[in-house]
Amino acid sequence: MQSPCRLFIFLFFLLFLSILPVSGTTPDSTRQASNLRLMGVTDSLLSAHELLRQASAGILFYDLCADSILFSKNAEKLFTPASTQKILVALAAASVPDTMVSRTILLGSGSQRRKSFRGDLILRGDADPELSSADLLKLVEALKKRGIRRISGTVYADTSSVVPLPWGKGWSWDDIPYRFLPRLSALPVNKGVALTGADSALCTLYQGTPAENPKTPEYTAALFRSLMEQQDIRIRKQHTGFVKSPPKALVLGEVTRSRNQIIIPMLKNSDNLNAEMLLLALGKEHATPAAATAAGLAQIGRMMATWGYGSSDYRLTDGSGLSFYNALSPAQLVRALREGFHNSEWLAMLQRALPVAATDGSLKNRMLGTSAAGKVYAKTGTLTGASCLAGYAERPDGTLLAFAIMIRGYAGSAAQATQLQDQLCVLMTSL
């Protein structure tokens, strides 16, 4: 097997040849020569790389300033995009007004009399993926500000705003226990992860019920009840469950989240829950709660249709990219990035949200100490046997490339695939 050391020696030799001086050049001829060197060195690297004896790669470099393809290999073929498809979800969400928000509302079915609320409380979820214990505590504080110290009824959960399946189509069932695979509901909290303090106590208090599973809405309602009790708000009845909020219920508190508050961590940290909830938010404006995911995918489809792609040219079944059913090409990802580049609002959002090489997010520990550090803004994507990277790369002359590197069909870890992606990014930012 070819060692990483030999690959870097080979790459260094090619880079040395590429910087030999050329006499009598103009700015255009210099750029043309640089482009030819980049194409030649990229082709040589791919031809020599051990990984591609086994795996397949689709690669596209697009010069955004010249509006032309710089390098292409299998760019029209379909690959498993993994989390790179979150770029499409982000652009579809950015194409609607920023009035789109997620609201978690505390409602009261009853009336207040002095320090007592005579009736039930209803925690109504709206698929806010960033909902936290701190947010629930704000709702508890809203009760205290009203002077409420006793609840004669109980606490119910209302998850009727969206009715997703717990997991997406094509997700791996054996990934269910892991943190990166979310359980979908209208009332997620703390990213589905049990924390310390009040949360750990719930496992004893509600052992043997869904309320001990931090990925369920029952857990969210139980956590809210626990926080109320910690703040000396007594609840008379212990039973809980699900109800649909009555039309005239009293609004006692509210937590809201804007579109960009969901998009940025979705891209920067590759947050799968954010992607799925954002897809639901896109769809619920146009469909019944049970059909929100399909309607969100249809929104993405309409966006891609304006770029010339029909429904038979790709396949998307979720928002996060966890599904092995998804299929996109490097050309389609680069087209999305091109559209982002030509829309100033979208470009500002992508530059803020995409991970930056050697700096933050899912690229924080990649390309350290290379020319790509701080010069590559890109979305990572990894599933078993598939690894992708798509985004923007700044060349030495300040021009910008849009690129997609999609690799599939390897048997080992993703280490060799990410190494190849990083080497290609070094080439783009040094030649």
Interior angle at CA 241, CA 181 and CA 277, nearest 5: 30
Interior angle at CA 283, CA 342 and CA 317, nearest 5: 85
What pLDDT is attached to residue 189?
93
Identify the top-confidence range among 29-33, 88-92, 199-203: 88-92
Query: What's the rounded Cα separation, in Å, for the pair 338 and 345?
Result: 13
pLDDT tens per residue, range 115-170:
999 999 999 999 899 999 999 999 999 999 999 999 999 999 999 888 778 889 99
What is the Rg, in whole angstroms, of the alpha carbon atoms belonging to the chain?
A: 25
Q: 162, 159, 156: which is closest to 109 by C-alpha?
A: 156
Per-domain residue ranges for the chain? 4-97+264-430, 101-258
What pLDDT is attached to residue 162?
82
Architecture of domain 4-97+264-430: 3-Layer(aba) Sandwich (3.40)
Polymer length of the chain: 431
For residues 156, 162, 166, 167, the Cα torsion angle rounded to the nearest 10 degrees is: -160
Whether domain 101-258 has CATH 3.90.180.10: no
DSSP 312: G
Query: What's the rounded Cα separation, in Å, for the pair 327 and 323?
Result: 9
What pLDDT is attached to residue 27?
67
Q: 252, 244, 263: which is closest to 346 by C-alpha?
A: 263
Q: What are phi and psi of 313, to 5 degrees?
A: -90, -10
- Contact predicate 104/138, CB 8 Å: no
What pLDDT is attached to residue 13?
47
CA atoms lying within 13 Å on the CB side of residue 107: 20
Q: What is the mean pLDDT of residues 80-104?
A: 89
Q: Which residue has the tokens 């039973």?
A: 239
pTM: 0.89
